[in-house]
Amino acid sequence: MRIIAGSKKGARIFAPKGHDTRPTSDRAREAAFNLIGPVDDATVLDLFAGSGAMGLEALSRGATTAVFVETDRDARHAIDRNLDKLRLSGARVIPMDALRALAAETAAGRRYDLVLVDPPYEMFSSLQNGLSRYLPAVLADDGLVVVETGAREEPELPPLSKRTSRRYGRARITLFQHNVEQ
């Protein structure tokens, strides 16, 4: 795995060992950021961060801060190693369940320009209601939520509206935003 673009373009990153973490492929990550567009000065929340590849990519591309939320100790260790190796600042790692972290961020009134959601594919349907409850509160008015699921899954996160959804191999990348009044 490597960083696709930005100040750390081409740098290899660590991934946790084992099969518990499924890093977003370079191809899917590149496609996601092509859909997202520029992230200069963005604040990023990376839920189910795993190796941190998506949040690291955002920092490399100009995001000012990234909060990585991950329960797995080995994955958090990989994120810390990647942050040290890439010498990226503006990052914080939260060792907490994603829904609990969202509840805490909501209670603290924090808002993010970009929220990355990449749970284990088989967990998404059980998380959908909790995500729908908290994501609108932590998403900046003009922010985006990027959800990675299995290719056959069609995620919904009401009251957020779907901006686009594309398949990339076994993955689906879906972007959501606040409802835009016509």
Average pLDDT, the chain: 94
Domain boundaries 26-177, corresponding CATH code: 3.40.50.150
Average pLDDT estimate for 103-119? 97
Please report the pLDDT score of residue 24 as a whole number: 76
pLDDT digits (tens, 9 = 90+) for 158-172: 999 999 999 998 999
Which backbone phi and psi does 156 adopt, to 5 degrees? -130, 140
Please check whether residue 138 is in contact with residue 45, taking contact to mean a CB–CB distance below 8 angstroms.
yes
How high is the pLDDT of residue 181? Answer: 65
- pLDDT, one tens digit per residue, over 56-108 is 999 999 999 999 999 999 999 999 999 999 999 899 999 999 999 999 999 99
Tokens standing for residue 31: 């496609």
The Cα–Cα gap between 18 and 16 comes to 7
Q: What confidence category does residue 182 fall into, taking pLDDT thresholds of 50, 70 and 90?
A: very low
**What is the average pLDDT across 50-58?**
96
Which residues, 6+ apart, have CB-to-CB distance to 10 below 8 Å? Answer: 2, 3
The domains of the chain are located at 26-177
d(CA 104, CA 121): 24
Task: Reply yes or no on whether the pLDDT at 23 is more than 90.
Answer: no
Maximum separation of any 2 CA atoms in the chain, in Å: 47
Q: How much is the pLDDT for 73?
A: 95
Cα 101 from Cα 134, distance rounded (Å): 10
pLDDT surpassing 50 at residue 155 = yes
